[in-house]
Homo-oligomer: A and B are copies of this chain.
Amino acid sequence: MSTHALTILGSSSALPTSHRFPSAQIVQFFGRFFLIDCGEGTQMQLRKIKVSFAKIQAIFISHLHGDHFLGVFGVLSSFNLLGRTSPLTLYCPPGLQEIIMCHMQFGDYSLNYKLQFITLPKDDHVQIFSDKKISVIAHKVSHRVPCWAFEFTQNVTTRNLKKEYISQYNLSISQIATLKSGKDVLLENSEVLSHTECTYLAPKSSYVYITDTRFLPSLTNHIKAPTLLYHEATFEAKCKQRAHETYHSTSEQAACFAKAVNAKKLIIGHFSARYKQIDKLLNEAREIFPETYAAEDLQSFSF
């Protein structure tokens, strides 16, 4: 059973609309809460979904265009006003630390919790975070300013029981747990039930966030079958040239990417304000990759 969830806080591109905030999302993955990008209004969106601010342990900023980071000052300040004391890590491009320090200096404020800055690496495909359960890799993408994609991957492999064995051997919950933990079980008839026989390795869960980039086929070699993929689709297919010139992707290209990496599900977002309805973009993507969904603000996707 999956308990991972992605909640979209903003799905517009540079110009927000009356119903789409700039890029921001919160991912809940193995009990950790991460903010990914932090466009203007992120803290107001967080209020609406009633997530506990204290649970957020890190923020990942893809690049220094305003629609991806202007909400960070309000988030940091509100964490402070709400009494946060636990440390917060900010994975960000070079420059954001200087901007935040500038705010603190001229705006005359300080934080009562430790804010750690981790500057995103110049090299491609670098692991920037790892704990017992998950890892995060930053991949460089192709935008007008330095920009990174983030890949959240499960570290440990888990075993699932082949269902037919439960009824065949009338297994207890305790026996199931033993088998799933990778140990064999001695049955009442003295038969040994091997965990390798009646369990299989579950595929690792992963979430990949790719925004503000030209279509980047070379990146498909580095990403393997994500459970959930978010890929920007600023434009419809016929604006391919405009997408290329502005370092963005089309709906078709997002779907091609999802197909190439064998994603289980694709979310497209970062829509240009020119699209009042995004049905066309969604349909274009679904023609290539049927399991595509369009991001809407405050919508959640479990994975």
Q: Shortest CB–CB separation between residue A78 and chain B, in angstroms?
A: 6
Residues of chain B within 8 A (CB-CB) of A22 are 74
Residues of chain B within 8 A (CB-CB) of A99 are 102-103, 106-107
- Of the candidates B43, B82, B107, the one whose C-beta lies within 8 Å of that of A64 is B107
Residues of chain B within 8 A (CB-CB) of A108 are 64, 144-145
- Of the candidates B71, B95, B107, the one whose C-beta lies within 8 Å of that of A40 is B71
Report how far A74 CA is from B81 CA in the complex, Å.
23
Residues of chain B within 8 A (CB-CB) of A18 are 44, 47-48, 50
Is A226 an interface position by the 8 A CB rule? no
* In the complex, per-residue mask of A56-89: 1 if CB is within 8 Å of any chain B CB, else 0: 0000000011110011011001100110000000
Report how far A16 CA is from B48 CA in the complex, Å.
11
Report how far A127 CA is from B108 CA in the complex, Å.
26
Q: Shortest CB–CB separation between residue A240 and chain B, in angstroms?
A: 21
> If A40-B43, A44-B40, A96-B106 touch, does A15 touch B81 (CB 8 Å cutoff)?
yes
- Of the candidates B41, B82, B109, the one whose C-beta lies within 8 Å of that of A44 is B41
Does B70 lie within 8 Å of A66, measured CB to CB? Answer: no
- Of the candidates B64, B74, B144, the one whose C-beta lies within 8 Å of that of A66 is B74
Is A14 an interface position by the 8 A CB rule? yes
Is A21 an interface position by the 8 A CB rule? yes
Is A98 an interface position by the 8 A CB rule? yes
| CB-CB contacts below 8 Å: A95-131 with B | 95-96, 98-99, 102-103, 106-109
Does A102 lie within 8 Å of B107, measured CB to CB? Answer: no
Q: Shortest CB–CB separation between residue A296 and chain B, in angstroms?
A: 15
- Of the candidates B21, B70, B82, B95, the one whose C-beta lies within 8 Å of that of A106 is B95
Does B47 lie within 8 Å of A81, measured CB to CB? Answer: no
Report how far A71 CA is from B71 CA in the complex, Å.
9
Does B70 lie within 8 Å of A44, measured CB to CB? Answer: no
Report how far A197 CA is from B21 CA in the complex, Å.
58
Q: Shortest CB–CB separation between residue A168 and chain B, in angstroms?
A: 52
Is A17 an interface position by the 8 A CB rule? yes
Report how far A21 CA is from B42 CA in the complex, Å.
12
Report how far A149 CA is from B81 CA in the complex, Å.
25
Report how far A97 CA is from B40 CA in the complex, Å.
20
Does B106 lie within 8 Å of A47, measured CB to CB? Answer: no
Report how far A144 CA is from B109 CA in the complex, Å.
11
| CB-CB contacts below 8 Å: A22-65 with B | 22, 40-41, 43-44, 47-48, 50, 64-65
Knowing that A66-B77, A99-B103, A108-B145 are A-B contacts, what are 11 other residue pairs whose CB atoms are under 8 Å apart, sorted by A's residue number?
A15-B81, A16-B47, A40-B40, A40-B70, A40-B71, A41-B41, A41-B44, A66-B74, A66-B107, A70-B73, A99-B102
Partner-B contacts on A (CB < 8 A): 14-18, 21-22, 40-41, 43-44, 47-48, 50, 64-67, 70-71, 73-74, 77-78, 81-82, 95-96, 98-99, 102-103, 106-109, 144-145
